[in-house]
Structure 1
Amino acid sequence: MAQMLKHDLRNRPVIAVWSKSDKKEEVHPVIREKLQVELKELFENYKEIDISNFSSDDPDVLVHKNNITVIDWLLNSVFTVSKSEILIENDSTVNDIFLNYKNT
């Protein structure tokens, strides 16, 4: 499945979510470590996150918080803002009253 994802990834971020991280320790350590190593080797823009929706207080709140954490990371990874300034140099705009209008 990871190979298929990598084939058409086009530099998009990849996040591996251990959605039952409270049960993660039950997975054999060799399997867990092998997965982590292979995913890091396959994907450049890769992150791993542990979430658990097991909560004795209010599981719904924890579910929403965990989902927002995942979405927040993905959106921040995809939509990075460039702070470079765009300069347009064109001599033909010198006499253009619309392009040169300054509200004073």
Structure 2
Amino acid sequence: MEISNLDSIPGKVITRHLGLVQGSTVRSKHVGKDIFAGLKNIVGGELKAYTELLNESRAEATERMLAQARAVGANAVVNVRFATSNIASGAAEVMAYGTAVVVQ
């Protein structure tokens, strides 16, 4: 499965447009990590636990989007984008979405 944030796959021809596909996951913060993040806020620096959480969330959302694309017969997804939103206090959704296509 090819994936691109462009509206096409360079060197390939889109032969079928199968529509929007998406995948998402909602994750919450771990209390222990949240406390550490609060302490890290005082001295500054990267919040590695949150970076890891977001990387895992993007990977899960992407895999769910690709699974939906496979289910409709796509062999590529173009125009891929990511979005995040707060769902509740301490919980956020990461969504991956794009256009499922067949390329040759």
TM-score greater than 0.5 by the shorter chain: no
Shorter-chain TM-score tier: under 0.3
Structure ranking higher on relative contact order (CA contacts 8 Å, 6+ apart): 2
TM-score relative to the length of structure 2: 0.24
Q: Considering only CA atoms, is the larger Rg found in Structure 1 or Structure 2?
A: 1
Higher helix share: 1
Higher strand share: 2
TM-score relative to the length of structure 1: 0.24
